[in-house]
Chains A and B, each alone.
Chain A
Amino acid sequence: MSEAVAIFLDGSIYAAWLFLVAVGLTLVYGVMKIVNVAHGATYTVGAYAAVSLCGAWAAGGGNEWGIYLPLVLAAPVVGLILGPILERLFLRPLRDEEETVLMLVTYALFLILEDSVKFIWGVDPYFLSEPYLLPGGIDIFDLTYPVYNFGMLIAATVVGVGLAWFLSKSKSGRIVRAVIHDREVAMAMGANVDRIYLAVFSFGCALAALGGALTAPTVSVIPSMGVEVIVLAFAVVVIGGMGSIIGALLGALLVGFVRAMAVHLLPEAELFIIYLVMATVLLVRPSGLFAPAEARKI
């Protein structure tokens, strides 16, 4: 019984982390049809920004519990600085290129950003464990879980619900959906696509940075932390259907639970279970579980 609870909790916590890490990727793809490999680098920058901001907060004698403020603020800071730079300078001029060319551009940006992180912050690891340790742990069925992880669950839910609400209920959200559906028609109807792309990309960067910032207290922050994460994020996004927020959520849940089961019940399978799930889902439903329908052009 307690094993089942453990699997459920572990799966949910991991799924929440996956969702936070992957949602920005699927949003950018859904709106701009760009597979943003640099997402992994923005994640890393977010983690480092969190370290710097929280470090400054602590050094400036900030309140202990207030450290969550700079932690979360790292996301919009990175989004508002990196987002426009990357989008304006590199993505907009090449907007009409093929999907795959743009993906390579983002891969090049990933390499450049990774080394830039090394130049700015060095190769030594940074630690930011205070936010993780502060709320303490909670005992469930004689297993201790850190309260911070449940905080991440809440954060993931807030982000997911917020995005879903924004896209379906708000006016700007509906314009964004129009652009997703058909860019040219939306432009003809008066939508400022340039500005929307800029905003969406920056928001996607901010989401990646949020993932990195919230992960930072649980790991040692090193320049290469984005490399493994980007592959995971891809798998989740592909499984759920690229461009679908619900898809990212369900993809994260599927991967999270499958992995939790593997780790508890069959540890040897853990290594490639995520790729097996990805390949299986793709074989059954080629566009992923919840991909938006695309009209075939003749």
Chain B
Amino acid sequence: MAENKFRGFLRDYSWESLILVFNVIAVVVATLLSPLYLNAFQILYSLQQSMGIASILAIGFMMIILVGEIDLSLPALVAVGTVSFARLSVMGLPLGLSILIVLAFTTLAGLLNGYLIVSFSLPSMAVTLGMMGVYRALALWIGGYEGFGVDAFKPSYIYVGDTLWAGFLPVSFVLLVFLFVLAWLLVHKTVYGRLLYATGNNRRATHLTGHSIKSIITSTYGIGGLMAGVGALVYIGQYQSARADNVASILLFVVACIALGGFSLAGGKGRVIGLILSILLLGTIQNGMGLANIQGPVQTLVIGLILIASIVVPAAIGAIGGAASRAKNIAERVSASSK
């Protein structure tokens, strides 16, 4: 009885279990590659540094992916956020007010994306590519060519991204944990989450059951924008810089986290725990690569390969499975007709 439940659990969570196994393997390999690795603080810190902002964006991106859409403009919105924070800091606004303004701004921008896509039935890839340009231009306008350096920021502004509690626990990490808990509750325990999966799997049926597809999809873009703003807050603390070209290459990491996390790029599949595990795995791999002194672009190459593998392998397995069951059908027919 218990064994059946365990088997069922494994089958449901097969992808996540696989990533967990890879996580363990990665830790082992990283330890072998470099003796510096197996240090709790080192792990925590490097994870936070390399994947912190990508994780925040990934939460927003996840919502959009779940309903089967995409938003390429989120990194550009982060840049809008960072330069906005810098300006507001220079203007002397208190942090609380700044946070309200910037988050409202990025959320509205996200909602604008969603509105355009939903109202005009536009392909989200092309539209958000265009909006990416628009937002980058906006960031350039707000921040200027040089952007802002460390002097621009009041201490309160960089608190979130920069501080370590008790000397080792990054505040931003705590924030990240908090966000993941919220995300998990939202996606797996609320009505909204249920509707996200329904929409991602079958828009028509969900609409015919009395839910507004337009609102659901638009709202995911709003969440994406919100997360971009939060990411901006962490960014300025972590890097103490704000330029229009911030996080120019983060999109690949985000998409790789999502794909590796077991999310179907067509929507409707994937779990928050999968995302957490994939972020840990990618972070560990990055950490290990960094300690082994592998060049930046090579690391990016590896991430790209992982992304391809995450997409192609399930499709290949599906195709093989389909072919196998078709072959089985034919075999059954042949044996049936020869009777």
A and B associate? no
